[in-house]
């Protein structure tokens, strides 16, 4: 289905956002349209207290500027209350079973949990043992909230998703994984361009290629040709050790002016931030008029509000 033909229903069947593999194209479209609506209301200064009286627990094993501020502001704008929980300050960080943590939080009238952590299994276990919505704020394997914001940004810019070519350059990390999944589901053409040693998990690649148009390559020119979106991320994710050999290899996949000129004349540049200018991207690209990184960052707020509203409402 094309997003332009989708009619919003105001609901989704999913109870959690663990990975976008669990979501249909229609559910993704529902989130995108909900995000657009909430963004419109905010820009017009109109209240939208859809989660009045609700409380969102935010568990952080990995720190983040954008994830914390966007979720905290988002739940407040929806009329709810955020509760920041650093995993080092709660019993979960000192060996308490996840099953105990989620069951206790439920009894304290917590209405939903957002967790940003290392292991995907932690997110899965929260959903397995709890009865409240669980939102994956990031794991080493997936970053679904970022991918939703990315797709909203692409849709706003081009007015379409189907057959839009997105080329991702660099490490085949959690961001690349979620871009492959969501791109395949919404009808985009996704190309992941990485060194062979840093390619995404082959099992996941096989799965997403059954869902849609996903290509894995180590040819920069092939990836950039006719691309409407150029995308990159840092070479080393949080928690990874710096490795000069890996860095030197990934520098061959830097998004620079030459790569930008290989893409379509109206292409845009995206980065999930934080960025290291001079490494994965040059300053003349990320700070150019083709860059939409700040719109992309803002859209984290709107898409996450949409996710919370759809998952946590009564």
Q: Report d(CA 167, CA 289) in Å as an integer.
A: 18
Got the DSSP string for 102-113? HHHHHHTT--EE
Question: In this structure, are 133 and 157 located in the same domain?
Answer: no
Mean pLDDT of 269-290: 98
Dihedral angle, C-alpha 304, 230, 161, 142, nearest 10 °: -40
Question: In this structure, are 152 and 289 located in the same domain?
Answer: yes
Question: In this structure, are 290 and 156 located in the same domain?
Answer: yes
Question: In this structure, are 200 and 308 located in the same domain?
Answer: no
Question: In this structure, are 156 and 290 located in the same domain?
Answer: yes
Report the helix count and the strand count for the chain, using DSSP H and E: 12, 9
Alpha-carbon distances of 269 from 93, 102, 128, rounded to whole Å: 37, 39, 38
Question: In this structure, are 216 and 107 located in the same domain?
Answer: no
- Non-local (6+) Cβ contacts of 125 within 8 A are 98, 99, 102
Question: In this structure, are 30 and 85 located in the same domain?
Answer: yes
Domain count, the chain: 2
261 pLDDT above the threshold of 70: yes
Domain range for 56 is 3-142+300-312
Positions marked active-site: 116, 143, 146, 233, 272, 300
- The pTM for the full model equals 0.97
Question: In this structure, are 174 and 218 located in the same domain?
Answer: yes
Place of tokens 């952590």: 117
What per-residue confidence (pLDDT) applies to 314? 87
Q: In which band, very low, low, confident or very high, does the pLDDT at 239 lie, cut at 50, 70 and 90? A: low
Q: Report d(CA 177, CA 157) in Å as an integer.
A: 22
Question: In this structure, are 157 and 291 located in the same domain?
Answer: yes
Question: In this structure, are 117 and 205 located in the same domain?
Answer: no
Question: In this structure, are 131 and 195 located in the same domain?
Answer: no
CATH of the domain at 135: 3.40.50.1370
pLDDT digits (tens, 9 = 90+) for 84-142: 998 777 877 567 889 999 999 999 999 999 999 999 999 999 999 999 999 999 999 99
Encoding tokens for residue 213?
């148009």
């Amino acid at each position: 289905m094309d997003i332009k033909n989708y009619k919003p229903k105001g609901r989704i069947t999913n109870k959690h956002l663990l990975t976008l593999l669990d979501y249909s194209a229609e559910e993704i479209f529902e989130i995108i349209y909900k995000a657009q609506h909430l963004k419109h209301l905010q820009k017009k200064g109109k209240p939208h207290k859809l989660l009045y009286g609700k409380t969102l627990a935010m568990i952080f094993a990995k720190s983040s500027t954008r994830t914390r501020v966007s979720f905290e502001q988002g739940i407040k704008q929806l009329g709810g209350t955020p509760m920041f929980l650093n995993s080092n300050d709660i019993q979960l960080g000192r060996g308490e079973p996840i099953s105990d943590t989620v069951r206790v939080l439920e009894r304290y009238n917590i209405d939903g949990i957002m967790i940003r952590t290392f292991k995907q299994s932690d997110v899965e276990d929260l959903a397995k043992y709890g009865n409240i919505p669980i939102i994956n704020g990031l794991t080493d394997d997936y970053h679904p909230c970022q991918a939703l914001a990315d797709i909203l940004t692409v849709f706003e810019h081009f007015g379409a998703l189907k057959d839009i070519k997105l080329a991702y350059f660099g490490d085949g990390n959690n961001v690349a994984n979620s871009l492959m999944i969501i791109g395949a589901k919404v009808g985009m053409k996704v190309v992941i361009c990485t060194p062979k040693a840093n390619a995404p998990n082959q099992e996941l690649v096989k799965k997403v290629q059954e869902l849609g148009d996903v290509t894995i390559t180590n040819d920069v020119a092939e990836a950039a040709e006719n691309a409407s979106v150029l995308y990159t991320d840092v070479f080393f994710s949080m928690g990874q050790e710096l490795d000069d050999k890996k860095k030197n290899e990934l520098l061959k996949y830097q998004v620079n002016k030459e790569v930008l000129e290989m893409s379509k004349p109206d292409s845009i540049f995206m980065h999930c931030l934080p960025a290291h200018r001079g490494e994965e991207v040059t300053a003349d690209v990320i700070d150019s008029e083709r860059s939409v990184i700040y719109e992309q960052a803002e859209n984290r707020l709107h898409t996450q509000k949409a996710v919370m509203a759809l998952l946590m409402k009564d």
